[in-house]
């Protein structure tokens, strides 16, 4: 599993990529979506954000076009990726 600690956003806040500066990895939005979709029938996402010690999965939603990266609801943020520091 990949712990996401940073996100790249455009001026409108759209997530363009996700990464972890400490572990020195970065996935563009399209590469992250592909990696999530490649999980096939496995519902577990390979990416997560740590929110107060809890893992919040990153998903590619909706299942059709246009697809975007979003965390599942945790009751705190609409999308935890938006509040991460920039890559």
Domain range for residue 68? 2-83
Average pLDDT score over residue span 20-30 = 96
Tell me which long-range contacts 15-18 makes (C-beta under 8 A, separation of at least 24).
Answer: 15/68, 15/69, 15/70, 15/79, 15/81, 15/82, 17/87, 18/47, 18/58, 18/69, 18/81, 18/87
Residue 75: per-residue pLDDT: 63
> What is the tally of structural domains in the chain?
1
Q: How far is CA 72 from the centre of its chain?
A: 10
Q: Residue 42: its pLDDT value, please?
A: 57
pLDDT in tens, 31-64: 999 999 887 655 689 999 998 898 999 999 887 7
């Amino acid at each position: 599993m990949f712990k996401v600690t940073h996100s790249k956003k455009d001026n409108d806040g759209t997530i363009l990529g996700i990464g972890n500066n400490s572990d020195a990895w970065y996935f563009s939005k399209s590469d992250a979506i592909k990696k999530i979709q490649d999980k096939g029938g496995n519902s577990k996402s390979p990416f997560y954000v740590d929110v107060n010690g809890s893992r919040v999965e990153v998903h590619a939603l909706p299942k059709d076009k246009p697809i975007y990266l979003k965390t599942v609801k945790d009751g705190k943020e609409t999308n935890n990726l938006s509040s991460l520091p920039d890559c």
